[in-house]
Amino acid sequence: MSGSQDLTVIVERALERARSAGADCVDALLVEVDSIEARVRDEEIDFVKQSRERTLGIRALVRGSGGLRSALTSTNDLSPAAVDRMAEETVALARATAEDPFAGHPAEDYATDLPDLDLFDPNDRGINVESRIEDARRAERSARETDPRITNSEGSQVGSEFARIVYGDTRGFLGEYSAASHSLFSEPIAQQNGSMQRDYWMTRGRRLADLEDPGDVGRRAAERATRRLGARRVTTCEVPVIFDPVTAPSLLGHIVACVSGSAIYRGMSFLAERMNEVVASSLITVVDDGRKPGALGSKPFDGEGQPTRRTVVIENGRLVSWLLDSYSARKLGTATTGNAARGPGGAPSAAPNNLWLEPGEQNLEELIASTGRGLLVTELIGMGFQPITGDYSRGAAGFWIEGGEIAYPVEEITIAGNLGDMLQSIDAIGSDLVWLGRTASPSVRVSNMTVAGE
């Protein structure tokens, strides 16, 4: 990658040029990414890509009589002439936009402590496409060797990304950090007696050493696919529903949609008027932390140069914080929570960093045993959630529970309820917290939901 000095000089040039063109406030974000992507199918290379992308985004704000006018542009041409031209054009565009009394940079102090969050391993820079392709082949080979019913594959895919991020603004902040992410995904297909099923397993981490062994990834993917063979529908009923660690994070995603700043100030959330109220079971504590060492969403500062931090969103069932960037914070008359997310081509908006549900003490087997009769959800289909009302309805697949044991796999069903009621009805939380991305959850059990089948 380019030296940090090169990237810093580009950002400083953009800030200076836009300021000299008449902007009252300017910020610039430069992201450089080296990436490797590859997919194999039947152990043959299906797709491979190795690339470097460098993108600069400039946001200029020009003061009017009733607020700031703002515009944002981005470019991949980082030559001095191109940077100068884009900076000037951004200011000209800003002058043509409507004034917004809430636009501007954060009023709070910028991040001054930029800790090492263990976001990459320098030794991983030596990896090459061939070694990552071999990881994918090993995963696919392992899946086939796990069970003779694995007869085909949708492929195994790997990715490695090394990024350098530099952000600065005309208020005096200039910060940078480097980060990496690596992944391995495998999706085998199982067949038996006319039934065909597929499933997957994946592993992700900041360091290659954090990833599960490719053989284990293939084996787990194969086990997940074969256990779904012979799936059937169930009769429509109301029963307890357990979401496993793969599907439970989607519930947190729905919560995020209802506690992010823009949803609150627009009135697009059923939780908009519920601050400091009990909105969930007392078992529920949801935390966001942008400084969790080694986590995929960690960074020393957010998309506006604000220090990332630990924010408890729901504590023992009580809603205690929104997730905010500076714009939504000003709209709501409060302070940012350090959750501004942005790319070079977009304006900041509130998003989680690393969000999780605090685990309980029971493992998944114990949750199943204590359920009696119900449904274990291992796959969700579609996006049937309405943040304004909380209404929830999604296609699902998983396993029927009878007598506290897994009875048989199920598919072609719909689970329905209301997220507000579901959160209040969570009566058990597992100990099996698994990080597959930036949002993580252990298994959770909702005491009663509608399962629509035959």
Q: Measure Cα distances from 424 to 122, 394, 453 in Å.
A: 45, 19, 25
Helices (H), 149-239: 214-226
Q: Half-sphere exposure of residue 206, counting CA atoms within 13 Å on the CB side?
A: 18
Q: Which two tokens stand for residue 349?
A: 């908006």
Kindly report, residue by residue over 373-432, the tens digit of the pLDDT. Answer: 999 999 999 889 999 999 999 999 999 999 999 999 999 999 999 999 999 999 999 999
Domain 122-160+179-226 falls in which CATH fold?
A: PmbA/TldD fold (3.30.2290)
The domain locations on the chain are 122-160+179-226, 231-454
Q: Which two tokens stand for residue 68?
A: 């700031």
What's the angle, vertex CA 219, arms to CA 218 and CA 222, rounded to 5? 85
β-bridge partners, 195: 192
Regions of the chain with pLDDT less than 70: 1-5
pLDDT of residue 5: 55
Residues written for the chain: 454
Kindly report, residue by residue over 5-59, the tens digit of the pLDDT. Answer: 589 999 999 999 999 999 999 999 999 999 999 999 999 999 999 999 999 999 9
d(CA 378, CA 261): 30
d(CA 163, CA 186): 24
d(CA 391, CA 387): 7
Between strands 439-440 and 355-357, the pairing is parallel
pLDDT of residue 454: 81
